[in-house]
Structure 1
Amino acid sequence: MPATIEIRAFMGLSELFRERGWTSPMSLDVPPETTGEELLARLDVTRDQVEVVFVNGKASAPEHAVVRPGDRVALAPPGVPGPYRVLLGFRNMG
């Protein structure tokens, strides 16, 4: 049974959300144990548009992220400036 997550987008991805008429944050129904890749597919966002998926504040590559009902999710594109990468906790990600 699907349940809702809260999802936000940063930088250029926030523009994509606006172009599609989506709010930020946006509520989205997802099945339990949704992978980051499944979430991107559901949003019709390609892997090269997203470097990091934050789930409840923890940074992961999309292929390692797991989203569950009630989670707060944020998407960050490639190109986040260096100081912000450190502050957000994903400077050493591959």
Structure 2
Amino acid sequence: MGNGTVQPVEVRCFSFLKKICDERKWAFPHYFRLDRECSARELAEKLDLPLDLIEAVFINGLAMPMDDGQVKPGDRVGFVPPGTPGPYRALLGMVKGKE
């Protein structure tokens, strides 16, 4: 990585977001060249994914709201749509406990 090459971002989409990627004939995972750090929202926009169909994002295995995520070249990113059943939301880290 110190040789000046930019590592692509590894992108996965789930549920009906995956259907969009399949229609575009993207591989699973899809590799996207990202030259600089950006927000997860910016990445979704660059990929022309429908923002209203994204509830959460995984970045390198950590789930968070899309607006909280920062993506760097070489990261692994997964976009999760709304509608994930309740127990799975907690297991995936999409729900925070009471503070």
* TM-score normalised by the chain length of structure 2: 0.85
Please, which runs of 5 or more residues in structure 1 have no aligned partner?
none
Aligned-partner Cα distance in 1 for 2:38–2:79: 15
Q: 2:37 aligns with which of 12, 33, 36?
A: 33
Aligned residue number for residue 86 of structure 1: 90
* TM-score normalised by the chain length of structure 1: 0.89
Q: Which has the larger radius of gyration?
A: 2
Aligned-partner Cα distance in 2 for 1:37–1:87: 23
Moved over 3 A (4+): none
RMSD of aligned alpha carbons: 1.7
Aligned-partner Cα distance in 2 for 1:37–1:3: 19
Aligned-partner Cα distance in 2 for 1:89–1:61: 10
Deviates more, 1:71-80 or 1:55-64: 55-64
Aligned residue number for residue 24 of structure 1: 28
Is the counterpart of residue 58 in structure 1 residue 53 in structure 2?
no
Q: Are 1:3 and 1:32, in contact at CA under 8 Å, matched by a contact in 2?
A: no
Aligned-partner Cα distance in 2 for 1:73–1:47: 15
Please, which runs of 5 or more residues in structure 2 have no aligned partner?
none
CA shift for structure 1 position 52: 0.5
Aligned residue number for residue 3 of structure 1: 7
Q: 1:49 aligns with which of 50, 53, 56?
A: 53
Q: 1:73 aligns with which of 73, 77, 90?
A: 77
Q: Calculate percent identity across the aligned residue pairs.
A: 40
